[in-house]
Structure formats: C-alpha cells, structure tokens
Structure 1
Amino acid sequence: MTEQIDEYLSFSDKINDYVSAVMIANNIGYEEYNHTYVWDFIQSKGVAIRCFPFYGVARERISGMIVRDSLETTIGYNQNMSEKRKNFTISHEITHYLFHMNEENPIFMDTKKSLHYSYNEVLHEFQANIGASAILIPDVVLFRHLKNGWNLTQLSTQFGISESALYIRLIQTMQAYFGVNFIAAKKNADTIRYKFHGKGKLAATELGTNLEKHLIQTNRFIEAL
C-alpha cells in the first residue's frame, strides 16, 4: 500500500503542477477555474478532440482512445456516455497524451474498466485516472472549496465530475497526505458525502483547511494562485 500511496503522491504532484502552470499562464484564480482551459490548451498544441458514435459491442465497452498518426493526434470519446463520464474520459486521454504517449506507444484505448484501474493493475491507467480527476478539479480548487463548505453535489455540478470520482479522490488524498489507513479515510469521506447536513460540513471544512496548509508546502505555484 505504501508503494501505491507514494505513486499517487508523486503523480498527483506532477499533474497538479501542470494544471497550476496553465492557470497562471491564463491568469485563472480558483474561483474561475474550468477544465476547458486545459482542454483548449491541449487542442492549441494540435490535438483534436472528437466524439464517435460507436456501435454494437464497442458502444458498451469503449469509453475513449487517443491515437497519433502522421496526420494528427486524435482523442476520440464515446458520444453515448453521460456528460460527466465524457469529461473524465477526455481528461484521462489528455493525461495519456501529456505523460505516456511516445513513438513506442502511439495509441491508448480505454474501456469502462480501465477508468477504474488501480495501481496494482496497470500503472499508466492508474496515473491517467489521477490526472483526469485533477484536470477536472485541481487540488488548489478542490481544497479551497472544501474549506469554504462545499459538498460533493455542489462540486460535481460545478466542475462536471461525478460524485463517485470525488469520493475516491477524498479517500486517496487523505491516505496520501495524512497517512491514515483506508478505513479511517473512508469513514471521513462517508461523513462528508452522506452526512453533510450533520457532521459532514465541519468534516469538509476541516479537511479542506488542513489540505490547503499542506498544499502551501508542496505546490510551488500556490502563491501565484
């Protein structure tokens, strides 16, 4: 588990640094952030994002893919998915583009299963899922809104990411940054998700405050944001 947490921390820092740099370049504060800033920047580098209908078995199994050929680099996503799954899939493929794609690996195809891969299954898919979540709502934005008392429904609606993805993010973040075990992290995440009008709001604001303090020490872009 320590190895998995170390990998989460390492890759989360990489993708959050990247998104923070995009925010600074575009003069975006946490209040104005939207994932389309990152998507637009990637498209400006010559990456096309296109929807495809997919039929038959492919319609049910394929979420998205990224392919590089002599003409262009194309991110394709399944148009039959929900908007939040489309957002996650496109951001997942963007992470492949930024960190995994090279001459030896010119194509990545992702299914519903690969969007839930753990560290022990396929490392680059585990990283791409971390990246997708961070592109949709980077740490600096997530922690500030938690600190300000936002619940998962508000965050999900505002940033186009599913509540389930946010729930997983909270558990992983608490394990990684505070060294708590899975059971304790899940218990606190459950309180935030399911008991917000009771103890959940206080738990969210305390977590956001503590995470933001940690971020000040680890994110080299934080003062500019």
Structure 2
Amino acid sequence: MNIKLIHSKVNAVLKAASPITLPVDIESIAKKRGLDVLPYELGPDVSGLLAIKDGKGTIGYNSTETRVRRRFTIAHELGHYELHKEKSDLFVDKQFIYRSQNSPITVDHQIMEHEANYFASCILMPTDQVRKELEKMDIDLVSEEGIKHLAKVFEVSTTAMSLRIDKLGFF
C-alpha cells in the first residue's frame, strides 16, 4: 500500500475543500471533485460502487445502509476515483467478497480495496482534527465512552474510529 501517495491525495482533496468542519461533508467533497453521488438500492451484499465513463465518475451508495456506513462508502469510492481511476472503470464494494477470508479477488485488487479504505479513513478522520478533538476530551480515550464520543463527532462507526486512532498511534 502506498501510504505516502494516499496522504498526498487526501491532503490535496481536503485543502481544495477547506475549511474543514466536522463531520467532514464527504458527499459535498466528492461532488466538488466532479463526481455524481446517488443513492441506489444495491441489495444486501453491495455497499457501493464507482462507475467511470468518459472520465466522469458516479458514486452509487446503498440507500438502505446506516448513515455512517454510507459516508464511509462514499469516501471509499472517492478513494478509488482519486487513486485508481486509470486501472478500471468500475469498482463494486461487495461485502461478501472484500470482507471475507475466502475472497476470490486478486492480490492487486485487494491492495486497491485496502488503499481505498485507508483513504476513506484518512479523509473522514483527518489527523489534525482527530488530534484537536483528543486534546479537548476529558474522558479516557481508550474507554468505550471516549471512542463513542469521537465516532459521533466524526460521524463514523466506533470500529472505524478505533482503527484510525490505533493507526495514528494515539492508543
């Protein structure tokens, strides 16, 4: 995974969208990047997709999923657009494939999925904003209460928040 490239892309996208307020308005950011963002009924196994035609991208997200899941899906698909648009014209986030131990997808495809997830995490929970929120807290960060509080501020799942804090080395 090319972490340096991902950070560079995230920083460029956030800079173009500044000022950043919390929670990050990921749908607005995607639209400013020239993408259409549309709800779809994608069934129980598909969270979202990115389709690119003639250089124009459309993000479709599963309208039946929770708001935090939809936000992460939009950020994930934006990650594919920013990082991988030259590699494919269709990306589909199938839960049963990408979140399964028995995934039939290639190693290259798995890397792209991990990169898109990391991009989503970084853009929804920017490092500087996470640090500022942690400095304001008077509750124990590693407590369930602390993680829930931060997840609410950033409008992400508690799992995503825990993973981001761990990746940043704040635990």
TM-score bracket, shorter-length normalisation: 0.7 to 0.9
Cα distance in 2 for residues equivalent to 1:116 and 1:173: 23
Question: 1:6-26, CA deviations, whole angstroms, 9 ceiling, x for partnerless residues?
Answer: x4xx42x44444444444445
Identity %: 24
TM-score by length of 1: 0.61
Partner of residue 81, structure 1 = 65
Match of 1:107 among 66, 69, 90: 90
Match of 2:120 among 132, 138, 142: 132
TM-score by length of 2: 0.77
Could you say if the C-alpha distance between residues 24 and 33 of structure 1 is closer, same or farther in structure 2, counting changes exceeding 3 Å? farther
Shift of 1:115: 5.9
1:87 alignment partner AA: R
Could you say if the C-alpha distance between residues 19 and 122 of structure 1 is closer, same or farther in structure 2, counting changes exceeding 3 Å? closer
Partner of residue 65, structure 1 = 49
Could you say if the C-alpha distance between residues 165 and 117 of structure 1 is closer, same or farther in structure 2, counting changes exceeding 3 Å? farther
* Contact 2:6 2:115 survives alignment (8 Å): no
Could you say if the C-alpha distance between residues 23 and 88 of structure 1 is closer, same or farther in structure 2, counting changes exceeding 3 Å? closer
Match of 1:48 among 36, 48, 51: 36
- Structure 2, unmatched stretches of 5+, are 102-106, 140-145
* 1:166 equivalenced with 2:155 (yes/no): no
Question: 1:132-168, CA deviations, whole angstroms, 9 ceiling, x for partnerless residues?
Answer: 1111111111122123326211211121110011112
If each structure's helix is expressed as a fraction of its own residues, which one has the higher value? Answer: 1
Matched residue count: 158
* Contact 2:10 2:119 survives alignment (8 Å): no
Greater C-alpha radius of gyration: 1
Partner of residue 28, structure 1 = 19
* 1:147 equivalenced with 2:135 (yes/no): yes
1:79 alignment partner AA: S
Question: 1:42-78, CA deviations, whole angstroms, 9 ceiling, x for partnerless residues?
Answer: 3134210000023xxxx11101000012483110011
2:154 alignment partner AA: F
- Structure 1, unmatched stretches of 5+, are 1-6, 175-206, 209-225
Shift of 1:97: 0.2
Could you say if the C-alpha distance between residues 157 and 73 of structure 1 is closer, same or farther in structure 2, counting changes exceeding 3 Å? same
SS in 2 for 1:46: coil
Cα distance in 2 for residues equivalent to 1:117 and 1:124: 16
SS in 2 for 1:60: coil
**RMSD value over aligned CA atoms?**
2.7
1:35 alignment partner AA: V
1:146 alignment partner AA: L
